[in-house]
Structure 1
Amino acid sequence: MRRQAVSSTSIASVGYDAAVSTLEVEFRNGHVYQYLEVAKRLYWALMSADSMGAFLNREIRDQHEFRRIS
């Protein structure tokens, strides 16, 4: 999945695959996670959030199944 670099203290890059509703997040520590069944509106909200890390923790992390891919 293609990710784009973001300006965040905890997140390095973010990608989204609308065909399968999967959000991919690369953290500054190098770990990459995929969050499953994430609505496109949440992706856009994450990308425009004042604090991407706080938004991810509050709205996505505990509400969606995820897998670590690296």
Structure 2
Amino acid sequence: MERTTVSSSNLVSVGYDSDSMTLEVEFNNGIYQYYDVPEYIYDELMNAPSVGSYLHHNIKNIFSFAQI
């Protein structure tokens, strides 16, 4: 999956696959995939003033995930 570099202290890059609704996030300590994420969540994440804060409040502990 292609990821886009983001400006964040914890996150390195973010990618999204609309067919599988999978959000892929590269953190400083690993890569995680979040499943069944609507595309609008990805759009909001990429346009958020703080990508890390948006991820923490709107994605973590809400969507199932796995470290890859």
TM-score class normalised by the smaller sequence: over 0.9
1:52 aligns with 2:51: yes
Q: Provide the aligned length of Structure 1 versus Structure 2.
A: 68
Question: Aligned AA for 1:67?
Answer: A
Give 1:39's aligned residue.
Answer: 38
TM-score, with normalisation over the residues of structure 2?
0.96
1:64 aligns with 2:54: no
Q: Offset at 1:66?
A: 0.1
Q: Distance in 2 between matches of 1:32 and 1:41?
A: 21
Q: Which runs of 4+ in 1 moved over 4 A?
A: none
Q: Offset at 1:14?
A: 0.3
Runs of 5+ in structure 2 lacking a partner?
none
Q: Distance in 1 between matches of 2:47 and 2:12?
A: 15
> Aligned Cα RMSD in Å?
0.7
Q: Offset at 1:12?
A: 0.3
Give 2:3's aligned residue.
Answer: 3
The percentage of counterpart residues that share the same residue type is: 46
Q: Distance in 2 between matches of 1:53 and 1:11?
A: 7
Q: Offset at 1:10?
A: 1.0
